[in-house]
Structures are given as structure tokens and as C-alpha cells.
Amino acid sequence: MFIRPDQRALDQLRPLSYIWDIAPNATGSILLRCGATQVICAACIEENVPNWMKAQKVSGGWLTAEYSMLPYSTLDRKPRDISKGRLDGRSSEIQRLIGRSLRAVTDLEALGPRTLAIDCDVLAADGGTRTTAITGAYLAVKLAVQRLIQSGKLQLNPLKHAVAATSVGVWQNEIVTDLCYLEDKDAAVDMNVVMTDQGEFVELQASGEEATFTLDQQQALVRAASSGIEKLFQFQNEAWSQLKF
């Protein structure tokens, strides 16, 4: 009998929970827990745009993201990037992914001449930190946008669609959804999938680890991810419904 490390079914997501407004000085924030992985996602509004937009006379606003794993988020302490004098390649890749994912569902013209800055800080890492960050960042941005609308600073909602992400992989010859660390480190194939609630893909990141995969496996992985992300949209809607304005 096939048994995952945490006893889940092949297509079962890890338990999800949240705390809204975990960072009270941000315009919108949430602590999202996905199993043992915990990520603080915060959205802040800056009433200006980057200099490159001014120089190139680009209209509208901008959305950017930063990602960091706190030193105590892993079993062995992870030194801060500042101690090395540079952002490591993995963090740079992930924060670009978060930014792309949120820009894909945001009308930057409707945002107006301001910057929406997203900060994703990993408190505890047990696999899926980038996908948890994207799913949580959308909720933080949605809250920030709602408060801008309520304050009269925005007339139109710049969020066109919802966005969420999960991981899938081939582990012990089985396709599994939402990999924890023990699965992720030994997976023969690992894929991260970002989708909108319109069923459209923002990004697919797939790779074999000392292994290859077929077109049929790729399609099966994408189908598994799509099913998992549909459940994440349901979770996002339920979390949003608990807010009181």
C-alpha cells in the first residue's frame, strides 16, 4: 500500500489555515500555513513608481515582490542574505516568480501611479514555500486593494482574477500533489504550477532530478495541479468571506 510521509492521499493538499493582518503596518497581510510551511505575505502601498517608469514615461503603476527565508525557518540555521552581501539565486528566482504571478492578474493602469510592494517571509519551511507565498500574496494584495478602494484612492479594482499555485511531482513512481520536504527532496520529477481562476496558466516549472518524464506524465502532473489549485481557490474564497469590513 502506498503511504505518503504525512498519510495524505495522492491528490490531497496539506491542511491550510491563516491569520489575517499578521503585519498591522502593512496595507494588507496574512500568515498562510500549508502543513508545516508558514509564510507571512504582506502588501504595502507606495505612492510613487520606480524611476525607470518615470524615465520611460510608462503610465500606470507597478507591482514588485521580495522573498526571504528567515534564518530559523529551516532545521539548520540559514544565514541572512545580507550577511553574504548578495541575494542568493534561489531567492531571486522565487521573488521574480511571485511578482510575475501577481502582475499577470493585475491591471497596472487601474492601479494608478503607485507601487504595490509584496513581501513574503518564510517562518517555517517544509516544502512548497514559493507556491504558498503566491497563494498567500494574492490574498494580501486583495486586502490591500480593498482598503485602497474604501479609502477612495482607487476607483476601479485592478485585480482581474485570482491566482494560486501548488506543487506536484513523481515520488516513488506515483504522482502526488503539494509535496512536503521529504517528498520534494526525493522526487524524481518536480513541477510548480501557477494558475488563475479562469483556468489559465501563468507558469509551469518542471524538472527531472536524475530522471526524465514523458509527455503523458507531464499532462498527468498538470491535471493533478489544476485539481489542487481549484481547491486553493475555494480556500481563498472561504478565507476572504471571514473578513469583516
Residue 5 lies in a domain: no
Query: Residue 6 domain-assigned?
Result: no
Q: Which residues contact 240 (CB under 8 A, 6 or more apart)?
A: 139, 142
- Beta-bridged to residue 46, according to DSSP, are 115
| pLDDT for the residue numbered 211 | 93
Which positions ≥6 away from 16 have C-beta within 8 Å? 32, 33, 34, 232, 235
Q: What is the CATH number of the domain that holds 176?
A: 3.30.230.70
Q: What pLDDT is attached to residue 144?
A: 97
User: Which residues, other chains included, contact 47 with Cβ-Cβ below 8 Å and sequence gap of 6+?
Assistant: 113, 114
pLDDT recorded at residue 89: 85
| pLDDT (mean) for 193-216 | 96
Contact 94, 6 (CB under 8 A): no
156, amino acid identity: L
Domain of 181?
16-241
**What is the pLDDT confidence band of residue 71, given thresholds at 50, 70 and 90?**
confident
Tens of pLDDT, residue by residue over 217-229, are 999 999 999 999 9
**Percentage of the chain lying above the pLDDT 70 cut:** 98
**Domain-embedded: residue 4:** no
C-alpha to C-alpha distance for 193 and 181, rounded to whole angstroms: 17
User: pLDDT tens digits, residue range 133-169?
Assistant: 999 999 999 999 999 999 999 999 999 999 999 999 9
pLDDT tens column, 5-55: 999 999 999 999 999 999 999 999 999 999 999 999 999 999 999 999 999
Q: Beta strand 115-124 with 37-46: parallel, antiparallel or unpaired?
A: antiparallel
> For all residues of the chain together, what is the average pLDDT?
95
The fraction of the chain above a pLDDT of 90, given in percent, is: 88
Assess whether pLDDT exceeds 80 at residue 231.
yes
Question: Which of 176, 226, 178, 219 has its CA nearest to residue 201?
Answer: 226
CA distances from 155 to 44, 50, 150 (A): 18, 22, 9
Which cell is 57 given?
514615461
Q: Quick check: is 11 in a domain?
A: no
Q: Cell numbers at residue 95, please?
A: 521573488
Alpha carbon 117 to its chain's center: 14
Is there a domain that residue 7 lies in? no
Do 97 and 129 contact (CB within 8 A), yes or no? no
**Domain annotation covers residue 10:** no
User: Is the residue at 57 inside a domain?
Assistant: yes
pTM of the full structure: 0.95
Residue type at 111 in one-letter notation: L
Q: Is the residue at 3 inside a domain?
A: no
**Per-residue confidence (pLDDT) for residue 1, from 0 to 100:** 62
How many distinct structural domains can be found in the chain?
1
Which residues are within 8 A (CB) of 49 and not within 5 positions of it... i.e. 6 or more apart?
Answer: 58, 61, 62, 113, 114, 115
CA-CA distance, 46 to 33, in Å (whole number)? 27
